Amino acid sequence: MGNGNISFGNIGGNVGDITGGDKVAGDKVSGSKTVNNNNSVSVGGNSSGVINTGDNNTITQTITTTNNDLKELLENLKAEANKVIEALPIEKQEEFKSDVETFVTNAQENKLDKYFKVSKEGLLEATKAVGEVGVKLAGYIPQILDALGGE
């Protein structure tokens, strides 16, 4: 907060809607704002609030399984999980991301151990917390379990 200019260079990912503030974590940003197409943001004038660059909790894990059916299910799960992350409170995002990555890693290794079960429960819990956004993700979990031989 305060007077002056704040500049962020080389910000990767989605900057969000800093002009309206609705997609910004925390308070709305006021003062002059510029979003450049080279992934940089400039905020000048009397500015306050938080700018969420949005890329810190995106699941970018590579799906390496050679089972094409499982690969498609895991890719779909990952895409839906990224939607759920956006809907979760910031303080829950990192734990959810970790659960997804553990679930995907163990599914690819067909390793249905206690960590797989804990991550599966974490995913299901998060899908309940975000309502409609989590419905598709929750639907992929039993399909993945079937592809792995059930559980």
30-43 pLDDT, tens digit per residue, is 555 554 444 445 55
Q: Is residue 62 part of a domain?
A: no
Q: Is residue 94 part of a domain?
A: yes
Q: Are residues 34 and 82 in the same domain?
A: no
> pLDDT tens digits for 97-113?
999 999 999 999 988 88
Count the domains in the chain.
2
Q: Are residues 44 and 75 in the same domain?
A: no
Q: Are residues 98 and 133 in the same domain?
A: yes
Q: Are residues 76 and 114 in the same domain?
A: yes
Phi, psi of 33 (to 5 degrees): -140, 145
Question: What's residue 12's pLDDT?
Answer: 41
Structural domain containing residue 30 = 1-54
Question: What's residue 58's pLDDT?
Answer: 87
Q: Is residue 61 part of a domain?
A: no
> Is residue 8's pLDDT more than 50?
no
Q: Are residues 74 and 133 in the same domain?
A: yes
Q: Are residues 84 and 131 in the same domain?
A: yes
Q: Are residues 44 and 74 in the same domain?
A: no
Give the DSSP per-residue string, the chain: -BSS-EEE-S--S----TTT-TTSSSSPP-SEEEEETTTEEEEESSB-S------TT---PPP--S-HHHHHHHHHHHHHHHHHHHHS-HHHHHHHHHHHHHHHHHHHTT--SHHHHHHHHHHHHHHHHTGGGGHHHHHHHHHHHHHTT--
Closest by CA to 52, choosing from 26, 76, 70, is 26
Cα end-to-end span (Å), the chain: 52
Q: Is residue 63 part of a domain?
A: no
Q: Are residues 12 and 75 in the same domain?
A: no
Q: Are residues 43 and 3 in the same domain?
A: yes
Q: Is residue 78 part of a domain?
A: yes
Q: Are residues 28 and 77 in the same domain?
A: no
Q: Are residues 91 and 143 in the same domain?
A: yes
> Is residue 11's pLDDT more than 90?
no
Q: Are residues 27 and 76 in the same domain?
A: no
